[in-house]
Amino acid sequence: MNARIFLRPLSRRQMLRATAAAMAGGALAAAAGCGRGSAQQATPPPAWPPSLPAGTWTPSTTDETFLDELERQGCRYFWEQASPANGQILDHAANNLGGTMDTSTTESSIAATGFGLTALCIADSRGYLPNVTHAQIVARVQTTLNFHLNNMQSESGFFYHFNDVNTGQPLSGSEVSSIDTAWLLCGVLAARAYFNDSLITSLATRLYERVAWPWMLNGGQTFAQAWYPASAANPGFSAARYDTYCELMALYLLAIGSPTNPIAASFWNNFARPVLTYEGYSYISSNSDPLFTHQYAHAWFDFRSMSDAYANYFTNSIYATQAHETFCLSYPDWYTEDYWGITSSDYAGGYTAWGGPPAQGPIDGTVVPCAAAGSLAFLPNECLEVLEALQTNWGSSPAWGRYGFVDAFNAKVSPYWYNANCLGIDLGISVLMAENLRTGLVWETFMSNAECAQAMHLAGFTSQS
């Protein structure tokens, strides 16, 4: 690594390491041999970057204040940038609005709506919407579920990815998305479990139970990524499939756990699990996976102390995050311990699914805050260090606004570039994983759904606690 990284004053993380060095070595060695995973389990992490044992985090007052602000402002997005008439949530919105809904776009996203339904559970629990009552939040959730069940176009229970936020009609070119339907349903089931309201329970259960999961298999052994209507250039099922490890775990588990139209539990074994090795880290990942693919399923499904025949996926995501930080720091002219993290986002040239390792996309010093925020539960000390530094150093700039961080910004170029928008899914993964780190609320609530716990059991997960 570049020497200047080590010549700076001790960082927050380095001070924590100094007081926990002996414990860290023992805990990491124990984790390597505690049976978390199968023979394919990832190897223990190397010396760089040195890290506290997984789960070791003693929050400071600064940490709690920052996380409160991150969550509160993110939750605000899911209330203000949603249609009061139908509950759909905008895919993206300007981050400098005064509380009004962004009228420059009508593009709603079912994934953002799924994250938003879960964020409303957090907002209600913590009182993050002070001018909104519990009854109003319940009514918004009821409206959202009713509209998606009875008014929005779907195919065999699967929804179009992007829709008009006012009418619910699919936008031109939008696909019926298997994975984005999964994110919507994760939010639906989280809301069902949290609010314990009879109407919410009924609507949510009907939304989940009407999905014909085998339809999206299209006769294959893995899920198609999309289906297109007859009006599309290439109608029917996409050739691309969810056949290699990524964020797909939630999709398969929801399908396996369905009480009405399930797929066989054996389908859990049908997607490939390649092992990527980088700088001493070995973990399940493809060569083209942005960091979010190691985060999204973990926002709802609790893999912390569970292993299947292949791995402990929570530990796997810890290694993936450590490897990603190491990868970023291999570009010392652009990234440091308090400025790192990229995942699919906009940048100065448009949208890119970038990441690493290995290097993917036009890496140029842009930072994507949700890369670290979405991994808060995996590496709290490392991720908090960079996020708090980003807010401290650029919080008074356009990089931080009404809803928290913008989607991405680049402080390494002149003039400084930032995306004026924030994205619903980026705010969503940040809010959910921050709350999971602090209380485990989303994990505990979501996993109280009998179908979700049963799905993990059927897929072969066993407790390693």
For 54-78, write each residue's pLDDT tens digit. Answer: 557 889 999 999 999 999 999 999 9
| CA distance linking residue 299 with residue 315, whole number of Å | 14
Q: How confident is the model at residue 382 (pLDDT cuts 50, 70, 90)?
A: very high
Question: Which stretch of 96-100, 198-202, 455-459 has the lowest confidence by average pLDDT?
Answer: 96-100
- Residue 3 covered by a domain: no
For 293-327, write each residue's pLDDT tens digit. Answer: 999 999 999 999 999 999 999 999 999 999 999 99
- Residue 58 covered by a domain: yes
- Residue 111 covered by a domain: yes
Q: How confident is the model at residue 251 (pLDDT cuts 50, 70, 90)?
A: very high
- Residue 5 covered by a domain: no
Look up the domain containing 132 and give its range. Answer: 11-20+38-463
**Which two three-digit tokens encode residue 446?**
């979501």
Indicate whether 48 pLDDT > 90: no
Q: How confident is the model at residue 30 (pLDDT cuts 50, 70, 90)?
A: very low
For 148-164, write each residue's pLDDT tens digit. Answer: 999 999 999 999 999 99
**pLDDT higher for 392 or 45?**
392
In the prediction, which pLDDT does 397 show? 83
Average pLDDT value over all residues in the chain: 89
Indicate whether 8 pLDDT > 60: no
Q: How confident is the model at residue 19 (pLDDT cuts 50, 70, 90)?
A: very low
Beta bridge partners of 272: 244
- Residue 171 covered by a domain: yes
- Residue 27 covered by a domain: no
Residue partners of 316: CB distance under 8 A and separation at least 6: 37, 42, 283, 284, 285, 294
What's the rounded mean pLDDT across residues 343-354? Answer: 93
pTM: 0.90
In the chain, how many domains are there? 1
In the prediction, which pLDDT does 55 show? 53
- Residue 263 covered by a domain: yes
Q: How confident is the model at residue 465 (pLDDT cuts 50, 70, 90)?
A: low
Residue partners of 157: CB distance under 8 A and separation at least 6: 181, 207, 210, 211, 212, 261
- Residue 26 covered by a domain: no
CATH number, position 234: 1.50.10.140
In the prediction, which pLDDT does 341 show? 98
Angle of the 198-209 helix axis to the 134-150 helix axis, nearest 10:
30
Residue partners of 253: CB distance under 8 A and separation at least 6: 268, 297, 301, 452, 455, 456, 459
